[in-house]
Amino acid sequence: MPIPTIRYKGHELRAYVQRTLPLFCDPYAPGPHRYTSVVRIDTIPPGVGTVRRYQAEFQGAYPTTADEAIDRAMQYAMDIVDGKVQTQAL
């Protein structure tokens, strides 16, 4: 699966998605799976600045599909670049 990448205001944004299992990491447990993601923000051209990584923080419920997690993570990264969100890098 390719890593989703977009260019935004002189930065390259990437989202890495991971599926988390419900109920004590039991893959056979009933219930929907949730997704978490990490966003990576780099400058263009790469190497000019430092690469920053952030754990995406989702308001409300966690995403239930990988596509939804990617979309929400990319929006979160854009908000970081725009200065709308203040968060600690990993």
**What confidence score (pLDDT) does residue 13 get?**
92
Kindly report the pTM of this predicted structure. 0.78
pLDDT digits (tens, 9 = 90+) for 16-74: 988 876 666 666 777 777 888 899 988 877 666 678 888 888 777 888 888 888 999 99
Q: What's the pLDDT score for residue 78? A: 92
The residues near 83 (Cβ < 8 Å, ≥ 6 apart) are none
Q: Are 29 and 21 in contact (CB under 8 A)?
A: yes
Select from 52, 59, 45 the least CA-distant residue to 77: 52
pLDDT band at 79 (very low <50, low <70, confident <90, very high): very high
5-22+32-82 CATH: 3.30.160
